[in-house]
Structure 1
Amino acid sequence: MTRYCARAVEPTVLKELRSADDAGRETVPVTDEEGGAPLRCCLRRSRPGERIALVSYAPLRRWAAETGADPGAYDEQGPVFIHAGECPGPRGGGLPFTDSHRTLRRYSAEGRILGGRLVEAGFEAVLADAFDDPEVALVHVRAVEYGCFLYEVRRP
């Protein structure tokens, strides 16, 4: 049984991103002809013909605004795919997009990075190791190939 759960981008944030992204750019929906884009709204890969958008997202900045933390120089934004319109969100729990090498970055409650780790397999064990450190408040899972934010994991 999975102890950890991936957190998709929150519906209220998605609503904002579907209008303008975290870089202030207007969102431009497209039809995904090929499919396969990792969607951060429902934590699955897109299907051919779906309407999606590539937007700039600042996950740590959004989290810091919610918690009062100050990520300082770690406040980065980057590209993420989302459905262009509302979607039902994730179905089921677990950890998606673990089919490739990933980087897991650990952050403190103050928004400071506490380290990172390249992971090929054994995500549950690496998350357990990360959360064994009482200073770790959350972990970001990122794609190695482009460095994109995939999802956040918080303490169980």
Structure 2
Amino acid sequence: MTYRITGADPDALADLLHRCVDHAGNRVAPFEDDDGGWALRCCLTDSVPGDQIAVVAFSPFPWRSAYAETGPVVVHVAGCPGPPDGTLPPQFHERRQVLRVYGHDRRQAYDLHRVVEPGGLAEALEALVADERVECVHARNVVAGCWSFAATAA
């Protein structure tokens, strides 16, 4: 594998949760998950009943630019097992994803964007991060558009 997968930056997320204010200035409103199945961006797992979680506005970008969006993600507010190990989490193999590609100029490389069907994500990420024009790739939910994770060259 030539890419590394990362979820929400743990330091940025810890700061947000400590201040109880998200990146859009909203108060963080934790709740107990009754049913499970929320796609978590802190550890890149799916929630289970009883998890303490919150929906927060979060910017996954390590830079500032017009393309550095802030949007809703779901995160643990307590009991998170921690950041992922850098590999593609298994549940994403079966999820459609939109891949948004960012170049070294920190702009979207629109000609490289694509929608990836189940079973094709690993191969698509491999090809995109190998492109010398690419700084990172953001995977997003096809329907809601929410940020899923970032992929960078390993």
TM-score, structure 2 as length reference: 0.87
> In the aligned structure 1, how far is the partner of 2:152 from the partner of 2:130?
12
Calculate percent identity across the aligned residue pairs. Answer: 37
Compute the displacement of 1:31 (Å). Answer: 0.6
> In the aligned structure 2, how far is the partner of 1:132 from the partner of 1:3?
7
2:152 aligned with 1:154:
yes
How many aligned positions are there? 147
2:105 aligned with 1:110:
yes
Unmatched 5+ stretches in structure 2: none
> In the aligned structure 2, how far is the partner of 1:15 from the partner of 1:57?
12
State the SS of the aligned residue for 2:36: coil
- Write the mapping of 1:17-96 to structure 2, written as runs, cut at 5 A: 17-18=16-17, 19-60=20-61, 63-64=62-63, 70-72=64-66, 74-85=67-78, 87-96=80-89
> In the aligned structure 1, how far is the partner of 2:142 from the partner of 2:49?
24
> In the aligned structure 2, how far is the partner of 1:46 from the partner of 1:86?
11
Contact 2:55 2:75 in 1 (8 A): yes
Q: Which runs of 4+ in 1 moved over 6 A?
A: none
Compute the displacement of 1:27 (Å). Answer: 0.5
Compute the displacement of 1:91 (Å). Answer: 4.9
Q: Deviations over 1:89-111 (max 9, x none)?
A: 13544212232110111101221
Distance 1:122 1:102, change over 3 A: same
State the SS of the aligned residue for 1:15: helix
> In the aligned structure 2, how far is the partner of 1:34 from the partner of 1:41?
19
> In the aligned structure 2, how far is the partner of 1:88 from the partner of 1:3?
25
Contact 2:139 2:148 in 1 (8 A): yes
Unmatched 5+ stretches in structure 1: 65-69
Kindly report the root-mean-square deviation, in angstroms, between the aligned alpha carbons of the 2 structures: 1.6
> In the aligned structure 1, how far is the partner of 2:93 from the partner of 2:59?
22
Paired residue for 1:129? 127
